[in-house]
């Protein structure tokens, strides 16, 4: 029997369009560095790498034969996806959606937020994106069609739609707040977090589950990125050395997969239920390069605009920033332009700022990069530790910025810790997030 839903009317107090404070109260990770946020964080700050060799025969003739895969198995810090889902459930979703659901469960448990009341469910939204669909799904289904129309799975379309991770999360937990999905290439995860924070700040909702997921590593995807000359090809026999942001021997990025989910919450909502607070989302900036399909603008204007808008949105001064978690994917052009943009933006304050890229450890998760690295930025703020940039031995640019080659370092700051997280995507789309320690 159908039970009618009672629509909760929002008062002017809860719906007022004002800049409410947004904090992070839960995190969840499925990544090449391991399963679980704390496992991945410890691996990162202990200079571990999640990049491995692609040993299957179909990769043998490709220029790039390394990738950052989610570790599979029954061992500690490994993922056995069959222990989370039935076979029938797995038929309805692509691997990226499965990763997102697993990371979401961890994040909600971490935040202690699984509401039963309809009012709370209506006040909880989802903003989770996917950067690229699974090309294997498309190829396999096309081959199935050759055998007959009835061989095409009825779940094919739901599996490849980029918004289905958000949809599945909403359905599983009954969240009826904003249901949103962004797909902006490698800026997807950061845009999802920023958009979610704006929903809360604007009074649309009190809680948002947000982030991104990616699981598109396949021979076709590797081949296609190789044709763009985007991937590393010089370290196939030494996979741990392949991703080397800022290093003069970098030759391209390493594809990665996984998901990272954050629970964002309006501050008073979090305080009322005595939730633990990791940090605060202060600002969010977006921009477009308007320059090239795949290359960043040479003068770094797009990156500068995104950082400037994030800082202005945060209502802080540039001198308050002491750490930047860079987008830096390990491409010769992109890393250099980003450093140029950062130093141009910071000016004389550059000498007081440390820059790091964690992609040396986990590769480039494309649509799940900005959100995974956002969580690492938040944990850096919490613990006062700046994670290392692996394989950084020889910087190839002259700069006043500080770096963290190969080994973590303490984040010494006389005031509260404030950081920026950059994320840039093909098509010239840019995002920057500003995070800080939470102070009452």
- The per-residue pLDDT for range 269-295, each reduced to its tens digit, is 999 999 999 999 999 999 998 888 877
Instruction: Establish whether 434 is a catalytic residue.
Output: no
Contact (CB, 8 A) for 371 and 260: yes
Instruction: Establish whether 364 is a catalytic residue.
Output: yes
Annotated catalytic residue: which of 64, 94, 180, 186?
186
pLDDT of residue 132: 94
- The per-residue pLDDT for range 208-228, each reduced to its tens digit, is 999 999 999 999 999 999 999
Please tell me the distance from the alpha carbon of residue 233 to that of residue 240, in angstroms, as a whole number.
Answer: 13
Average pLDDT over residues 328-335: 97
Annotated catalytic residue: which of 94, 327, 362, 434?
327
Tell whether the model's pLDDT for residue 4 goes beyond 70.
Answer: no
Annotated catalytic residue: which of 94, 364, 432, 434?
364
Q: What is the pLDDT confidence band of residue 18, given thresholds at 50, 70 and 90?
A: low
Please tell me the distance from the alpha carbon of residue 332 to that of residue 334, in angstroms, as a whole number.
Answer: 6
pLDDT of residue 12: 37
- The per-residue pLDDT for range 49-86, each reduced to its tens digit, is 999 999 999 999 999 999 999 999 998 899 999 999 99
Q: What is the pLDDT confidence band of residue 2, given thresholds at 50, 70 and 90?
A: very low
- The per-residue pLDDT for range 146-173, each reduced to its tens digit, is 999 999 999 999 999 999 999 999 999 9
Tell whether the model's pLDDT for residue 11 goes beyond 70.
Answer: no
Tell whether the model's pLDDT for residue 238 goes beyond 50.
Answer: yes
Instruction: Establish whether 362 is a catalytic residue.
Output: no
Give the 3-state secondary structure of 111-151. HCCCCCCHHHHHCEEEEEEECCCCHHHHHHHHHHHHHCHHH
Q: What is the pLDDT confidence band of residue 332, given thresholds at 50, 70 and 90?
A: very high
User: What's the longest Cα–Cα distance across the chain?
Assistant: 70
Residue in 161, 165, 187, 185 with CA at minimum distance from that of residue 175: 165
pLDDT of residue 184: 96
- The per-residue pLDDT for range 403-437, each reduced to its tens digit, is 999 999 999 877 899 999 999 998 889 999 999 99
Per DSSP, the three-state class of 199 is helix
pLDDT of residue 408: 98
pTM of structure: 0.95
Classify the phi-psi angles of 245: left when phi > 0, otherwise alpha if psi is within -120 to 50, otherwise beta.
beta
């Amino acid at each position: 029997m159908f039970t009618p839903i009672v629509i909760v009317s929002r008062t002017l107090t809860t719906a007022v369009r004002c800049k409410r404070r947004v904090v992070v109260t839960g995190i969840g990770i499925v990544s090449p560095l391991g399963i679980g946020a704390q496992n991945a964080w410890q691996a990162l700050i202990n200079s571990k790498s999640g990049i491995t060799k692609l040993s299957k025969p179909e990769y043998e003739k490709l220029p790039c034969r390394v990738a950052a895969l989610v570790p599979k198995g029954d061992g500690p810090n490994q993922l056995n996806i069959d222990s989370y889902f039935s076979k029938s459930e797995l038929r309805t979703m692509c691997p990226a959606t499965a990763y997102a659901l697993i990371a979401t469960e961890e994040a909600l448990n971490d935040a202690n937020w699984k509401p039963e009341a309809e009012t709370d469910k209506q006040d909880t939204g989802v903003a989770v994106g996917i950067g690229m669909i699974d090309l294997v799904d498309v190829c396999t289904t096309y081959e199935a069609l050759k055998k007959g129309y009835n061989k095409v799975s009825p779940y094919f379309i739901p599996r490849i739609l980029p918004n289905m991770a958000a949809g599945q999360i909403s359905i599983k937990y009954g969240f009826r707040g904003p249901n949103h999905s962004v797909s902006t290439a490698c800026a997807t995860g950061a845009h999802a977090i920023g958009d979610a924070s704006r929903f809360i700040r604007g009074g649309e909702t009190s809680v948002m589950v947000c982030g991104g997921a990616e699981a598109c590593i396949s021979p076709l995807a590797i081949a296609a990125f190789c044709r763009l000359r985007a991937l590393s090809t010089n370290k196939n026999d030494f996979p741990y050395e392949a991703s080397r942001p800022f290093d003069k021997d970098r030759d391209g990025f390493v594809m990665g997969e996984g998901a990272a989910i954050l629970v964002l919450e309006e501050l008073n909502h979090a305080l009322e239920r005595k939730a633990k607070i990791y940090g605060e989302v202060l600002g969010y900036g977006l921009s477009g390069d308007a320059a090239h399909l795949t290359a960043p603008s040479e003068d770094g204007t797009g990156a500068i605009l995104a950082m400037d808008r994030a800082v202005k949105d945060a209502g802080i001064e540039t001198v308050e920033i002491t750490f930047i978690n860079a987008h830096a994917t390990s491409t010769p052009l992109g890393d250099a332009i980003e450093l140029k943009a950062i130093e141009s933006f910071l000016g004389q304050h550059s000498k007081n700022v440390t820059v790091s890229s964690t992609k040396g450890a986990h590769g480039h998760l494309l649509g799940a990069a900005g959100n995974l690295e956002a969580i690492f930025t938040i944990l850096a703020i919490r613990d006062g530790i700046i994670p290392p940039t692996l394989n950084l031995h020889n910087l190839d640019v002259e700069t006043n910025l500080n770096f963290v080659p190969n080994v973590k370092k303490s984040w010494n700051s006389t005031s509260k810790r404030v950081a920026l997280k950059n994320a840039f995507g093909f098509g010239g789309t840019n995002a920057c997030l500003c995070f800080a320690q939470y102070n009452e």
